[in-house]
């Protein structure tokens, strides 16, 4: 029960609250302030993604459990929000392809990491992959604000969709990097 792991648990616990706020506002036609609440909770959850790793390193509290749970928490948060934003209609039309690319890459990389872990091969997270995650989280924040944000600044949803496409492009590139690094070990395993 270290602080980094508690922060990761908090990120997972934030998911149903964010989804519930967007569901209530969009599907049940509740007030727009619920979107701002969703954004605030989402930002807090996204910040824990940075803080859990930071504290684990500086306090030397890195654990196998934390290394396993942290990327799962990230993927759960991103996937849940993307699915809710698609149900909400904020992500629609061609922009659904960006969300599909992001979700497919997450599944591909997770499967590849699981397979390589069985071979005792580590695939480190690159700086570009961290930037990809940052762009994804910022895009989702803008999209969660959606119509509430558009009332303040009329282009909030458009900025969110543009950032979603930027993160999808980074997702393809970083996914290819992981796949290329992993395929080498897959070929060696088949030849061995």
Q: Tell me how far apart the alpha carbons of residues 129 and 177 are, in angstroms, rounded to a whole number.
A: 9
pTM for the predicted model, two decimal places = 0.90
- Give mean pLDDT, residues 170-181: 86
CB 4 within 8 A of CB 53: yes
In 3D space, the residue among 184, 24, 163, 158 whose CA is nearest the CA of residue 90 turns out to be 158
pLDDT tens, residue by residue, 91-142: 999 999 999 999 999 898 888 877 777 777 777 778 898 899 999 999 999 9
Is residue 191 predicted with pLDDT exceeding 80?
no
Q: Which domains does the chain have, with CATH numbers?
A: 3-191 (1.20.120.1760)
- Give mean pLDDT, residues 3-17: 92
Q: What's residue 108's pLDDT?
A: 87
Is residue 13 predicted with pLDDT exceeding 80?
yes
Within the chain, strands assigned E span none
Q: What's residue 39's pLDDT?
A: 98
Q: What's residue 82's pLDDT?
A: 97
Q: Which of 20-24, 64-68, 73-77, 187-191 has the lowest mean pLDDT?
A: 187-191
In sequence order, the 6+-apart residues with CB closer than 8 A to the CB of 153 are none
Residue 12's Cβ-side half-sphere holds a number of Cα atoms within 13 Å equal to 13
């Amino acid at each position: 029960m270290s602080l980094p792991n508690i922060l990761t648990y908090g990120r997972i616990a934030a998911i149903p609250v964010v989804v519930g706020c967007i569901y209530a506002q969009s599907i049940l036609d509740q007030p727009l302030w619920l979107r701002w609440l969703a954004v605030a909770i989402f930002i807090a959850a996204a910040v824990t993604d940075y803080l859990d790793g930071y504290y684990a390193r500086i306090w030397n509290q890195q654990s196998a459990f934390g290394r396993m749970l942290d990327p799962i928490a990230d993927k759960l948060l991103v996937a849940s929000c993307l699915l809710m934003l698609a149900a909400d209609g904020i992500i629609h039309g061609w922009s659904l392809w960006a969300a599909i690319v992001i979700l497919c890459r997450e599944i591909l990389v997770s499967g590849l990491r699981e397979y390589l872990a069985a071979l005792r091969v580590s695939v480190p997270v690159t700086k570009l992959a961290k930037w990809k995650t940052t762009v994804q989280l910022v895009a989702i924040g803008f999209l969660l604000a959606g119509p509430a944000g558009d009332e303040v600044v009329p282009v909030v949803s458009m900025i969110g969709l543009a950032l979603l496409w930027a993160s999808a492009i980074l997702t393809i590139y970083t996914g290819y990097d992981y796949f290329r690094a992993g395929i080498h070990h897959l070929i060696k395993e088949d030849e061995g």
